[in-house]
Amino acid sequence: MPVSMDALADDITAETAVLREILTGLSEPDWRRDTPAVGWTIADQVSHLAHFDATAVKSAVDPDGFRADLENSPPIDPDAVALQYRDLTGAEMLRWFDGERTRLIETFRGLDPALRVPWYGPPMSAASSFTARLMETWAHTQDIADTVGVTREPSARLRHVAHIGIGARAYSYAVNGVAMPEAPIRVELAAPDGSTWTWGPEGAADRVTGPALDFCLAVTQRRHRDDTALQITGPVANEWMSFAQAFAGAAGTGRKPGQFA
């Protein structure tokens, strides 16, 4: 069945609500608290989402303009992006995020899921771009939740995060300058509802199994693999999971073992 942009829009709306529930309870000093992402505050996490929501909309409605911006600008630097918005108060940041997120959802809900849109990495379908925004929301909310001591309830939306993390396997190798082996990998994840989500050939020798939440934390680099319950079998699977990343941009630095013990 074709991807439903309405269903994706509903899921990203739900994921956004989880983030907003945390943000609306913050004081102004809370917005300036350091998160596990080195050098980034809670405000920086939110400005990152708002900024790239806006650029995702531009990539969809004005792809030529997006490409021109990409060609005429230096390589994207998330730290420089964050610096642009540090004069905004928490209330201003939240209003900006709300506006950009509303535009994102309204725009992408009406797109053909197969429409090809440019991005900072390879071009992708509109459905993949929209899913990436959900993944980014989930990942940055994790940093904020870790900062303020909130534990989120895992949901079926984790499947989107896992799927894009698996789809980004080739990109993970490329951004780390490593040739990707041809051997396939089987991924079997225990979903929050007790079912099993699977990717890859059943008979693959290299395997990653375990809780879907732990896999998503690993491929978004919000937890070190040693701090998860993932079972990683085979040299190819071990190599991939040592630098797997679901997000575009430079190779991530991840988190240290035991950082959240």
Q: Provide the residue ranges of all domains of the chain, joining segments of one domain with +.
A: 5-148, 158-243
- In CATH terms, 158-243 corresponds, of 1.20.5, 3.40.50, 3.90.190, 3.30.1050, to 3.30.1050
| Euclidean distance between CA atoms 173 and 152, whole angstroms | 30
The reported pLDDT for the residue numbered 1 is: 57
Strands (DSSP E) found in the chain: 116-117, 124-125, 185-190, 196-199, 206-211, 231-233
Report whether CATH 2.102.10.10 matches the domain 5-148.
no
By residue count, the chain amounts to 261
Percent with pLDDT over 70 in the chain: 99
Confidence bin at 235 (pLDDT 50/70/90): very high
β 196-199/206-211 pair status: unpaired
| Euclidean distance between CA atoms 92 and 250, whole angstroms | 29
Nearest 5°: the CA angle 245, 4, 128 is: 25
Average pLDDT, the chain: 96
Is 71's pLDDT higher than 60?
A: yes
Domains 5-148 and 158-243 agree in fold: no
Backbone angles phi, psi at 117, to 5 degrees: -125, 145
